[in-house]
Amino acid sequence: MQKLGAEHSAIREIFEQANARALQIGRENVFDFSLGNPNVPAPDCVQEELKRLVSEMPPERLHGYSSAAGLPEVRERVADYLRGTFGANARAELIYMTCGASSSLTATFGGILNRGEEVLVLAPYFPEYRVFISQAGGLMKPVRTDENFHIDAQAVEAAITPKTRAIVVNSPNNPSGAVYGAAELQALCKVLSRKSAEYGARIFLIADEPYRELTYGADVPYLMNFYADTVVCYSFSKSLSLAGERIGFAAVNADMEGAKDVFAAISGAARAAGYVCAPTLFQRVCAHSLGKTGELSVYGGNRTLLYGALADMGYACNKPEGAFYLFVKSPEPSAAAFCARAKKYGLFFVPSDSFGVEGYARISYCVKREMIERSLPAFRALAEEYGLVK
Amino acid sequence: MQKLGAEHSAIREIFEQANARALQIGRENVFDFSLGNPNVPAPDCVQEELKRLVSEMPPERLHGYSSAAGLPEVRERVADYLRGTFGANARAELIYMTCGASSSLTATFGGILNRGEEVLVLAPYFPEYRVFISQAGGLMKPVRTDENFHIDAQAVEAAITPKTRAIVVNSPNNPSGAVYGAAELQALCKVLSRKSAEYGARIFLIADEPYRELTYGADVPYLMNFYADTVVCYSFSKSLSLAGERIGFAAVNADMEGAKDVFAAISGAARAAGYVCAPTLFQRVCAHSLGKTGELSVYGGNRTLLYGALADMGYACNKPEGAFYLFVKSPEPSAAAFCARAKKYGLFFVPSDSFGVEGYARISYCVKREMIERSLPAFRALAEEYGLVK
């Protein structure tokens, strides 16, 4: 734990380096593309509901405990929304309000894993999965994706053993920007069903969906509709730009056999980790703002600008289908060397190694457009150093 | 985990029974003394600061991630407050902002315990300690207190083994209402120091202080000033009536040897449990409201009324020195039987068995005064059934 607490994550490390560099050469000469902190304001409906609740609701009710799983009316509204929007078999009694997607994930891993069981993750993947899965006594097992970072069902099948208890599907994907389509998800679920039957043991599908609303045209199929043993881990961090307020939910598919028991196990794990309830003010605010988002089109504009410019300069980029990350191929074998070289030009982004693939960098474009514009000469100079520019 | 999630805590169970009974016989005939949910409104400074922040601060900054340990300016203000108010050796870099006292505790247990190590708790104790300590791989070991529920240093000494890694001190105490004085704490710390030296292994003192400001004249000594190896687990739930908003902190004593490493271990445990950061809006609100409280005198009034009336009726009550619980001796050997009999009169309170002592009941008086007044005939009828009334 001491090691875990003393180390920054690779992402946070780059962020700290960018800050340190800004003190040396001036903030205006540093282009920090490290973090996934939304820079779009929360929508007006959030701010208005916050003001309304604080003005109108008696504070002892507004700020009092909710039951562990959340306020009943909030859970009802979330379930209604999931049924109405996605046709999912969501039920209020299977919605657990959480302190964001990370706590949805830790409660879910804690609830479903027995010691030594394996959880598959599709590479590239969010690095904290490893921490969360270990904490629950499990073992993270990365599975490669195809050359466009989409699901390779055969690779998944080959990775499944009798110890496989779950697979995490994160779409839109951090860091690749891939959004998995219906066909590849169907192929994946077919594999999961077949192998579950073969080994006589259930394999859960954990849909980690903080970026659900951040897409550029792609549809994000709702996985409850594809596979009974699905738990959806959602966060309002990105859709409503509330990353610091820690609010989300875990939703157990009502189609699941023994859904109530799985829900109880998730509740138990949340309880054991000290999550008494999700923050009550933001439970109410989010229930009021279901289906709303901040001005996410800002990210679309950033994507067009950054992808277009970098592709023109000769960088090989994976065009993001969702989320707000550009995954760029390193012009030299080592992504770490690429990122180190970029720092000379004031460019700070994260090598892909910590995401479980080699030879790429994650450029987070949830930043001011103006910073992207100012950064382009630096990207060009870096491209010239590599001889990419034609 | 399934069992943990499916079971209500003993406290929550009584609360649910009271609700069910209210549906049968009418809310006005049920006197629910089960929960510790503050019924005093948050103070105006909280509501005003909430409004000000929502109106004035750009939402993307207000609601964005903080670093894992909290906003630097918030940690500074908390440390300043602890230094200024208690003369404690608190430092910003050793303050970890948390989602309330429960997460302060789980992060602390997770950070300091190795598998199989023991944590002493003074009985009666908050029942979730057992859950939190087990989750961290430890073993909870209750130690009896004296006849007034104060510390028996000899009993503590006798309970310490080479496996003892920590003791939890919860003062003002839930459920007994005891507030431990300086002399008994000094005696305790002397024992801890002596046994640490004898076994060559550190014993941490974990001060669980959600009720610090709820006292009726008693002083609550600051344990950092008594013992170097102290971690203070604090919550704003009760002082500012923000129980549902999940905000508190863990503070590692700067006098501690290797304080930085212990802090890192606590940070690591919080990270592994999925606590990305404490809710940022309430970090700011609480930093603004340090030293402020709601109208806690309401609880003093309730205490006078309830203690006076019940003592008059012949109940043997432990007069609360702090917190908002009246600990009443059961007039029959079984506290469960006492609480069951009380239900016939519409009275719902919690038998002491789940708090680790026999023969008492916890009557939570963070309720409307008017409900206490209306409940007195029921308490009298119950007393008459037992032949207590002289």
Closest partner residue to B131 among A245, A261, A272, by Cβ? Answer: A272
Chain-chain contact of B281 with A245 (C-beta, under 8 angstroms): yes
Choose among A1, A55, A243: nearest Cβ to B272: A1
Nearest alpha carbon to residue A103 among A294, A251, A247, A312: A247
Residue entry with tokens 């973090």: A35
- Beta carbons within 10 angstroms of residue B367's beta carbon: 21
Report CB contact under 8 Å: A274, B99: yes
The residue count for chain A: 390
Distance CA A255, CA A274 (A): 29
Inter-chain CB pairs, A–B, below 8 Å: 228
Q: How far is CA A19 from CA A9, A348, B166, B310, in A?
A: 15, 10, 38, 62
Question: Average pLDDT, stretch B362-379?
Answer: 97
User: Tokens in use for B380?
Assistant: 């009298």
d(CA B183, CA B172) in angstroms, rounded, equals 15
Task: State the amino acid at position B336 in one-letter form.
Answer: A
- Answer whether B59 sits within 8 Å of A47, measured CB to CB: yes
What's the N-to-C CA distance of chain B in angstroms? 49
- Token duo for residue A250: 């875990």
Q: Tell me, what's the pLDDT at B69?
A: 95
**Which 8-state DSSP code applies to residue B322?**
B
Both tokens assigned to B316: 């043997």
pLDDT for A13 equals: 87
Residue B374 reports pLDDT greater than 80: yes
- Burial (Cβ within 10 Å: 0-12, 13-18, ≥19) of residue B300: middle
State the pLDDT at residue A75: 98
Residue B106 pLDDT level (bands cut at 50, 70, 90): very high
In the prediction, which pLDDT does B37 show? 87
CB B280 to CB A244 under 8 A?
yes
- What pLDDT band is residue B12 in, cutting at 50, 70 and 90? confident
Q: What is the pLDDT of residue A378?
A: 98
Instruction: Please say whether the beta carbons of B95 and B116 come within 8 A.
Output: no
CB contact under 8 A, A265 and B42: no
Strand B139-143 with B118-122, pairing = parallel
Tokens 């080592």 found at: A334
3-state secondary structure A291-359: CCCCCCHHHHHHHHHHHHHHHHCCCCEECCCECCEEEEECCCCCHHHHHHHHHCCCEECEEHHHHCCCC
Nearest to A357 by CA among A179, A149, A193, A192: A149
- Residues B390 and B384: their CA atoms lie apart, in Å, by 9
Please tell me which of the candidates B46, B106, B277 has its beta carbon nearest to residue A273. B106
**Average confidence (pLDDT) over B358-366:** 97
Tell me if B64 and A244 make a contact (CB, 8 A cut-off).
yes
Chain B residues in contact with A105 by the CB 8 A cut-off are 274
* CA nearest to B329, candidates B304, B300, B362, B378: B362
Q: Show the tokens assigned to A382.
A: 């870096």
The encoded tokens of residue B390 equal 């002289």
3-class SS at A381?
A: helix
pLDDT for residue B11 is more than 90: no
- Cβ distance B99 to A4 less than 8 Å, yes or no, reads no
Dihedral in degrees, nearest 10, Cα atoms B49, B51, B55, B60: 70
Q: Which residues of B touch A50 (CB under 8 A)?
A: 50, 54
What are B289-316's pLDDT values in tens digits? 999 999 999 999 999 999 999 999 999 9
Are residues B120 and B143 in contact, defined by beta-carbon separation less than 8 angstroms? yes
The complex's ipTM?
A: 0.94
* Binary contact (B5, A265; C-beta < 8 A): yes
Identify which has the larger pLDDT, B18 or A158: A158
**pLDDT confidence of residue A220:** 98
Closest CA relative to residue B360, chosen from B156, B176, B230? B176
Supply B198's token pair: 């004898």
Task: Give the residue from A174, A245, A368 with the most B CB atoms within 10 Å of its CB, the best one to mutate.
Answer: A245
Contacts of A241 in chain B (CB under 8 A): 59-60, 63-64
Low-confidence ranges of chain A (pLDDT < 70): none
- Closest chain B residue by Cα to residue A6: B264
Q: What's the rounded Cα separation, in Å, for the pair A30 and A19?
A: 8
pLDDT of A10 reads: 83
- Report which secondary-structure segment, H or E, holds A374: helix A369-385
Q: Which of B82, B265, B242 is nearest to B165 (CA)?
A: B265
CB contact under 8 A, B279 and A35: no
Asked whether residue B110 carries a pLDDT value surpassing 90, the answer given is yes
Q: Which residue of A has its CA nearest to B64?
A: A244
Searching chain A, which residue's CA lies closest to the CA of residue B242? A63
What is the DSSP code (8-state) at residue B256?
S
| Residue A217 dihedral angles phi and psi, to the nearest 5° | 110, -30
pTM: 0.95
pLDDT digits (tens, 9 = 90+) for B142-188: 999 999 999 999 999 999 999 999 999 999 999 999 999 999 999 99
Q: Do A276 and B102 touch (CB under 8 A)?
A: yes
For A378, other C-beta atoms within 10 Å of its C-beta total: 17
User: Which of B51, B59, B270 has the CB atom closest to A241's CB atom?
Assistant: B59
**Torsion sign across C-alpha atoms B100, B105, B108, B110:** negative
Digit-coded pLDDT (tens) for B240-270: 999 999 999 999 999 999 999 999 999 999 9
Q: Most B CBs within 10 Å: which of A271, A296, A298, A368, as the mutation test of the B interface?
A: A271
CB contact under 8 A, A245 and B3: no
Residue A226: predicted pLDDT: 98
Kindly determine whether residue A2 and residue B268, on different chains, have CB atoms separated by under 8 Å: yes
Q: Which residue of A has its CA nearest to B99?
A: A275
pLDDT above 70 covers a percentage of chain B that reads 100
Q: Say which of B62, B111, B244 has its CB closest to residue A277.
A: B244
Whether pLDDT at B87 is above 90: yes
> What are the tens digits of pLDDT across the range B207-234?
999 999 999 999 999 999 999 999 999 9
Question: Minimal Cα–Cα distance from B139 to chain A, Å?
Answer: 14
Determine, for residues B5 and A47 on separate chains, whether the beta-carbon distance falls below 8 Å. no
- pLDDT tens-digit map of A274-290: 999 999 999 999 999 99
The whole-angstrom separation of Cα B206 and Cα B223 is 9
CB contacts of B32 in chain A (<8 Å) are none
Amino acid at B136: A
Which residue in B12, B53, B63 has the most chain A C-beta atoms within 10 A of its own C-beta, making it the best mutation to test that interface? B63
Q: CB distance B132–A274 less than 8 Å?
A: yes
Which of A270, A143, A277, A283 has its CA nearest to residue A203? Answer: A143
pLDDT, residue A371, reads 97
- Provide DSSP, B118-174: EEEEESS--THHHHHHHHTT-EEEEE---TTS---HHHHHHH--TTEEEEEEESS-T
